[in-house]
């Protein structure tokens, strides 16, 4: 937790404390630096041409935490996260609250791509002291598995003013969200300069469902519809989709058969979401081989059912990150599964 001594090497904050007091420097809930003061600090570093990394951190699924457990628990999650971030950056920079479930951080030490990458990895590693994410928070009578998404940009390599720098860190953050959250992205101009955040977030679920329905209305074969679905989902930044018949034969690659896919599925819900491979327990060597062969890091799987009959299995997967599957992802799995179920039903009539 910050004290007056924490800012002895930060003249901007010392002046604020002298003028307004500590209570006007820190966010009342998280005890991190208030957003306006962080912006003042960033501007001062840019004017003085001091290299630094600007990092934006977003707690994953924070709204669900508030909705499921109440705002009191949400506040505890924010406080715990803030404390862990302050500890993690104690020797490197300053942590501020950007608003809601977002934090903004200035790192004065890790300012190159490799050093930023190495440090951010430690925030996610379970065997590292001072870990922030991918950990169980013990709060009152609850245990909440906490993950977060991070976007980072560097001054002066990526930008020369605050607006440009923040925009690029924000692009990196949204790239992380579209990859499934629970990861960090460091801005790289060649990879991220053309990202349009308005396009990344402009796909409401109803528009996606309409587009999916339109694809299925066309008189194509199941294989062609699957190809179009895969292409469309790539545009939504979803990684891979696999379709199997009820015997576990892959529809578009009939030489591949996976035994006991039903061992992964919750019978009550007809689907299961695995954010990491460590959550998977199965007695099927065939399933594990399929996962390893496709470098799958997280998996969402459901039964294809129509009119009470099972026709196969649908899998969404990510091979890049331990994806945090969202309610929208699950809704799409169920909806697409139902559409394919109708196709199988009609083809059997």
Question: pLDDT digits over 87-99, tens only?
Answer: 999 999 999 999 8
Whether the predicted pLDDT of 260 surpasses 50: yes
pLDDT at 320: 64
Angle subtended at Cα 220 by Cα 216 and Cα 221, rounded to the nearest 5 degrees: 105
User: With 60 as the cut, is the pLDDT of residue 129 above it?
Assistant: no
Give pLDDT tens digits for 273-329. 887 777 787 778 889 899 888 888 889 999 999 998 999 999 998 776 667 787 888
Candidates 306, 325, 307; CA nearest to 315 is 325
Most confident stretch, 83-97, 163-177, 256-270? 83-97
Q: Enumerate the CATH 3.30.450.40 domain ranges in the chain, comma separated.
A: 205-348
Does the pLDDT of residue 270 top 70, yes or no? yes
Average pLDDT over residues 82-88: 94
> In sequence order, what DSSP letters do the residues of 75-116 get, joined into one string?
HHHHHHHHHHHHHHTTTTEEEEEEETTEEEEEESS--SHHHH
Q: Which residues lie below 8 Å from residue 340, measured CB to CB, with a gap of 6+?
A: 222, 225, 226, 243, 304, 311, 312, 314
Average pLDDT over residues 140-161: 92
- The C-alpha atoms of residue 70 and residue 75 are separated, in whole angstroms, by 9
Decide which of 140 and 133 is more confident: 133
**For 107, phi and psi rounded to 5 degrees?**
-110, 115
Distance CA(266)–CA(305), nearest Å, equals 14
Nearby residues of 42 by Cβ (< 8 Å), 6 or more positions away: 52, 54, 106, 162, 165
Residue 49 pLDDT > 70, yes or no? Answer: yes
Please state whether the predicted TM-score (pTM) of the whole model is above 0.85. Answer: no
Q: Percent of the chain at pLDDT above 90?
A: 50
**Intervals of CATH 3.30.70.270 along the chain:** 4-200
Nearest to 291 by CA among 336, 229, 240: 240
Q: Does domain 205-348 correspond to CATH entry 3.30.465.10?
A: no
Rounded Cα gap, residues 297 and 322, in angstroms: 5
**Four-way CATH pick for 4-200: 3.30.70.270, 3.40.50.720, 3.90.550.10, 3.40.50.150:** 3.30.70.270
The per-residue pLDDT for 277 is: 74
When mean pLDDT is compared across 202-206, 231-235, 248-252, 286-290, the lowest value belongs to: 202-206
């Amino acid at each position: 937790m910050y004290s007056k001594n924490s800012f002895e090497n930060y003249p901007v904050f010392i002046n604020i404390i002298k003028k307004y007091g500590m209570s006007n420097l820190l966010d009342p809930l998280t005890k991190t630096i208030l957003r306006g003061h962080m912006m003042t600090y960033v501007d001062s570093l840019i004017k003085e041409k001091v290299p630094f990394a600007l990092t934006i951190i977003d707690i994953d699924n924070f709204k669900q935490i508030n909705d499921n457990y109440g705002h009191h628990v949400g506040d505890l999650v924010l406080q715990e996260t803030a404390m862990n971030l302050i500890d993690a950056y104690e020797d490197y920079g300053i942590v501020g609250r950007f608003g809601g479930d977002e934090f903004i951080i200035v790192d004065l030490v890790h300012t190159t791509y490799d050093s930023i990458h190495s440090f951010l990895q430690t925030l996610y590693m379970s065997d590292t002291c001072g870990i922030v994410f991918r950990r169980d928070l013990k709060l009152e009578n609850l245990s909440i598995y906490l993950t977060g998404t991070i976007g980072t940009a560097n001054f002066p390599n990526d930008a020369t003013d605050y607006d440009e720098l923040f925009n690029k860190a924000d692009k990196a953050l949204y790239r992380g969200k579209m990859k499934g959250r629970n990861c960090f992205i460091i801005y790289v101009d060649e990879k991220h300069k053309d990202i349009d955040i308005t396009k990344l977030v402009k796909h409401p679920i109803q528009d996606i469902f309409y587009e999916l329905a339109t694809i299925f209305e066309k008189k194509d074969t199941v294989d062609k519809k699957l190809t179009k679905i895969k292409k469309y989902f790539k545009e939504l930044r979803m990684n891979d989709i696999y379709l199997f018949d009820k015997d576990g034969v892959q529809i578009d690659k009939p030489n591949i058969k996976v035994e006991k896919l039903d061992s992964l599925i919750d019978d009550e819900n007809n689907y299961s979401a695995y954010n990491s491979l460590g959550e998977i327990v199965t007695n099927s060597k065939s399933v594990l081989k399929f996962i390893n062969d496709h470098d799958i890091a997280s998996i969402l799987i459901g039964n294809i059912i129509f009119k009470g009959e099972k026709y196969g299995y649908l899998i969404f997967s990510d091979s890049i990150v331990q994806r945090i599957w969202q309610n929208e992802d699950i809704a799409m799995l169920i909806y697409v599964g139902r559409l394919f179920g109708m196709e199988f039903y009609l083809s059997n009539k």
